[in-house]
Amino acid sequence: MEHINWYPGHMKKTRELIQENLKLTDIVIEVVDARIPISSRNPVIDELIKNKRRIIVLNKGDLADRAANDAWVEFFKNNGSDALTMNCMSGSGVARLLKLLVTIQEEKNEGKIRKRSLRMMIVGVPNVGKSSLINRLTGKKSAKTGNKPGVTRGKQWLNLENDMQLLDTPGILWPKFEDPKAGLNLAFCGSIKDEILDTANLAIELIKVLQTDYPKLLKDRYKLTALGETPLETMELIAEKRGFIQPGKRIDYERTGRTLMDEFRAGTIGKITLEKCCK
């Protein structure tokens, strides 16, 4: 596939928003996709927040390989950030995050006469689950959520029940993905709008990865006795198994691709991590 380039105008404003409000916050919560912990981290965010204390939330951990989750948490901790795995939709991990935030607040107020509530900023690329996390932390639907990137708009200061405050920001991608693999990984996981992508070709690229790293899950999900010699052949075998055949015995590549992408994103193919931890 060609290089993916997606940088809506509001993302430039988001960068400015982060720069303007960073000095008002004590900590940054960076939400990443547990299936692609590196590709779903924006280097622009690193550049902006610099040495500000950070918690990395590996969201959608329920969709990722458990052993890989543990390895990534350890990796981020060894590199100076707090880290934990969560499922922001179900609320799994919220109690651990709140406990960590309380500990950080107590550390910041230690020895001070005037106690101050912790102020935090939540950042991340589109569709990693920031809005779901905010709704869990505030106990109400404060932020819009959706399964398409780019739902959140504008600046919102929100109050938690324990009087902590958080600033939500819209998702921010960078102008061009220098590594084509990062762009593909984001597309696989739904952080780039499907409307600008060729779903069938994207599915072939995903099959290429799964054939190498998770061949058994692919065979079991689609009841294949063997995978094709190429990703395209495997896609055609999946289409035949699912009955995605058009008149004239033509493969419906679009429907097959869309089904495969939907099932990967929903976790029905299995628990998959596309990026292995780099020690």
Burial zone of 131 (CB within 10 Å; 0-12 exposed, 13-18 middle, 19+ buried): buried
- Do strands 27-33 and 119-123 pair parallel, antiparallel, or not at all (unpaired)? parallel
Nearest-CA neighbor of 82 among 112, 109, 60, 102?
A: 102
Residue 24 is predicted with a pLDDT of 85
Please report, for the chain, the start and end positions of each structural domain, with discontinuous segments joined by +.
9-168, 198-266
Residue 203 is predicted with a pLDDT of 96
| CATH fold match for the domains 9-168 and 198-266 | no
Q: In terms of C-beta distances under 8 Å and separation of at least 24 residues, what long-range contacts does 41-50 make, across chains too?
A: 41/125, 42/123, 42/124, 42/125, 42/172, 42/173, 42/174, 43/174, 44/15, 44/172, 44/174, 45/18, 45/123, 45/124, 45/172, 48/15, 48/18, 48/19, 48/22, 49/18, 49/22, 49/123
User: Which CATH fold would you assign to the domain 198-266?
Assistant: Conserved Hypothetical Protein Ylqf; Chain: A; domain 2 (1.10.1580)
93/91 Cα distance (integer angstroms): 6
200/198 Cα distance (integer angstroms): 6
H helix or E strand, kind and range, residue 220: helix 215-222
171 within 8 A of 4, measured Cβ to Cβ: no
116/34 Cα distance (integer angstroms): 32
Question: Where are the extended beta strands (E) located within the chain?
Answer: 27-33, 54-59, 82-85, 119-123, 156-159, 165-168, 245-246, 250-251
- Do strands 156-159 and 165-168 pair parallel, antiparallel, or not at all (unpaired)? antiparallel
Is the entire prediction scored with pTM above 0.95?
no
100 within 8 A of 55, measured Cβ to Cβ: yes
Q: Which CATH superfamily is domain 9-168 in?
A: P-loop containing nucleotide triphosphate hydrolases (3.40.50.300)
CB within 8 A of 57, min separation 6: which ones?
A: 29, 30, 31, 32, 83, 84, 86, 88, 93, 97, 133
Residue 66 is predicted with a pLDDT of 94
Question: Each residue's pLDDT tens digit in the chain (279 positions)?
Answer: 444 444 555 566 777 777 888 888 999 999 999 999 999 987 778 778 878 899 999 999 999 999 999 999 999 999 999 999 999 989 899 999 999 999 999 999 998 888 889 999 888 887 888 889 988 888 865 544 444 444 344 456 788 878 899 887 766 665 556 677 888 898 899 887 766 678 999 999 999 999 999 999 999 999 999 999 999 999 999 999 999 999 999 999 999 999 999 999 999 999 999 999 875
Q: What is the 3-state secondary structure (H, E, C) of 68-80?
A: HHHHHHHHHHHCC
- Do strands 82-85 and 54-59 pair parallel, antiparallel, or not at all (unpaired)? parallel
84/79 Cα distance (integer angstroms): 14
178/84 Cα distance (integer angstroms): 28
